[in-house]
Amino acid sequence: MLQVTRIKRKTGFTLVELLLYLGIASLVISAVSIFVYLVLQTRARAQVTAEVEQQGAQVMQIISQSARNAQTVNFPNQGDTDVYLDLKVPAPNNPTVFDLSSGAIRIKEGAGTATLLTSSRVTASSLTFRNLSKAVRIQFTLTYSSSSAQATYSFSKTFYGSAMLRTP
């Protein structure tokens, strides 16, 4: 009589297969980690750039609007360049003064206290005003300043602008 022997197959993974799967999984996880890191770096750079651009545009708009509404420029004298701007404006905001103090651009209206126009996240420098008779040329630089140890990106931009006085 014939006896049929059954070959019993073992189920499961071999050591080689297991090592192959672990290697592939490690590569996939590494690739995803690098991708996420690069996306976060790009996001941080975009936020820094947007912060500087937004604050620069806002400061330029405030200074330009004040200069347009001014009756005259008290300081700097005609043809001169200086680090602060003194405008004669209608009461109760007369005079309106713009200056740079401790890395921040400030405005002082009338007898009130000076108000910061820039936040602590950016540092202002190179603020200059040039009196061109019936116009004022404005220039300043804003630099992103991070207080964290993980500052991965710095950004600086110089803003230029001018405003005509609305004098009769």
1 within some domain: no
8 within some domain: no
3 within some domain: no
| pLDDT of 158 above 60 | yes
4 within some domain: no
Q: Into how many domains does the chain fold?
A: 1
pLDDT-based confidence at 60, cuts 50/70/90? Answer: very high
83 within some domain: yes
Pull the structure tokens for residue 5.
């022997």
At 65-117, the pLDDT tens digits run 999 989 889 899 888 989 999 999 888 888 999 999 999 999 999 998 999 99
20 within some domain: yes
Query: Residue for token digits 């022997």?
Result: 5
Alpha-carbon gap, residue 128 to 124, rounded angstroms: 11
- Entry pTM: 0.78
Q: Which residue segment(s) compose the domain that 105 sits in?
A: 15-164
C-beta of residue 158 within 8 angstroms of C-beta of residue 141: yes
108 within some domain: yes
43 within some domain: yes
At 115-138, the pLDDT tens digits run 999 998 899 999 999 999 889 999
Pull the structure tokens for residue 17.
């297969």
pLDDT-based confidence at 148, cuts 50/70/90? Answer: low
| pLDDT of 149 above 60 | no
Alpha-carbon gap, residue 107 to 98, rounded angstroms: 5
